[in-house]
Amino acid sequence: MGRVLVTTAYRWSDPAGRAVVQSLSEGLPGWEIRSAALPDRLDLGRAVRGVDAVVVAGGPAFGAPLAGVARLARSARRHGRAVALMGVGVPAVASSGRAARQIGRLGDGADLLIVSDEVAAGLLSRSGATPPFRIGADPVWTLLDRWAGSPSERGGAVTVVVPHPPAARALAVAGRLAALAVDCTVLSWTAGLGVLDLRDALAASGGVAVVCQLHALIAAAAAGVPAVAVGDEPGLEPLARRLRQPWVPWDVDGPALDAAVGATSAAGPPAAAVKAEVALAEEAMRLLRIVLSRGETDEMETLVGLPMGPVSLAW
């Protein structure tokens, strides 16, 4: 085994990013994990020289943090280190311009690239990266095996999960529900509240969760509670669709949002849909272990493989 630098496209203070790092730390037993925020230009060489591989996992790695991710990948390749991009999302801006060219080079240069969903695969293809791409799931799904228990009896309350510091658009969503006299509670997902804690809080609420972050939607699914996904975080809408939960844009009006909440209050996501996400994330983690060990592992014999996309280009 060796040493792996694990980082994420999320802000280092974001609990979602810490959940991603936790999933990689536990998914790579025997490896020495060095987790850190994306290093700046001055620290790149030192960060890469001290490890055998670099893993960027979860979140919009091809979005706002693109320049930092690209610099880290280039430095890793210059020093002969493996580069893996795990369960990453792709924003809509990836299909044109300078960002697209940078994304294409980054995708083609990775030793392992697993995108978060079929939409990300399509956007990555249009950026110029060579398809098809492996489609997995966010690595945080691999923590689900410890999320035992079932939600409490359903109630009428709605819990709006907002990031910390509070996002104005998320608070506006809560305000639209409150204006309609909907029984609504705002839950701030702070750095001190882990994704497992969020799952437990949502399970205890017994109502419907309104979420604007991918990992809040994962936590709601793990809790078995129905959820409405709101906003434009890469991967959020495709995941809501796979979990058969409604998605609405940021500018949804109050009545439409209330209708979405009402439509989903009868049941949470199907168990089969949740199990499918877990299976994809676990298979992606198995593939990462194989790549990092250069194939010197018994897991080669149990590898099932991941779906490829875009669909029209898969074989």
**What are the tens digits of pLDDT across the range 262-277?**
887 566 899 899 999 9
What number of residues does the chain have? Answer: 315
Q: What is the pLDDT of residue 207?
A: 86
Contact 229, 263 (CB under 8 A): no
Low-confidence ranges of the chain (pLDDT < 50): 148-149, 312-315
Report the C-alpha gap between 256 and 98 in whole angstroms: 37
Beta bridge partners of 186: 160
Which CATH number applies to 147-269?
3.40.50.2300
**Can 3-144+276-305 and 147-269 be said to share one CATH topology?**
yes
Q: What are the tokens at 303? A: 């590898």
Predicted pLDDT at 31: 93
Q: Which of 252, 237, 234, 247 is nearest to 93 (CA)?
A: 234
Cα distances from 281 to residues 35, 178, 276, 287, in angstroms, run 20, 37, 9, 10
What pLDDT does residue 64 have?
Answer: 63
Strand pairing of 308-309 and 133-135? antiparallel
Question: Structural domain boundaries of the chain?
Answer: 3-144+276-305, 147-269
What is the reported pLDDT for 262? Answer: 84
Q: What is the pLDDT of residue 315?
A: 31
Using an 8 Å Cβ cutoff, are 137 and 277 in contact? yes
pLDDT at 54: 94
If you write DSSP's letter for every residue of 234-253 in order, what string do you get? Answer: TTHHHHHHHTT--EE-TT--
Q: What is the pLDDT of residues 11-68, one digit of tens each?
A: 777 888 888 999 999 999 999 999 887 777 657 788 898 999 999 988 777 776 778 8
Alpha helix (H) residue ranges in 154-270: 168-179, 195-205, 214-223, 236-242, 254-264
Distance CA 313, CA 65 (A): 28
The superfamily (CATH) of domain 3-144+276-305 is: Glycogen Phosphorylase B; (3.40.50.2000)
Q: What pLDDT sits at residue 149?
A: 46
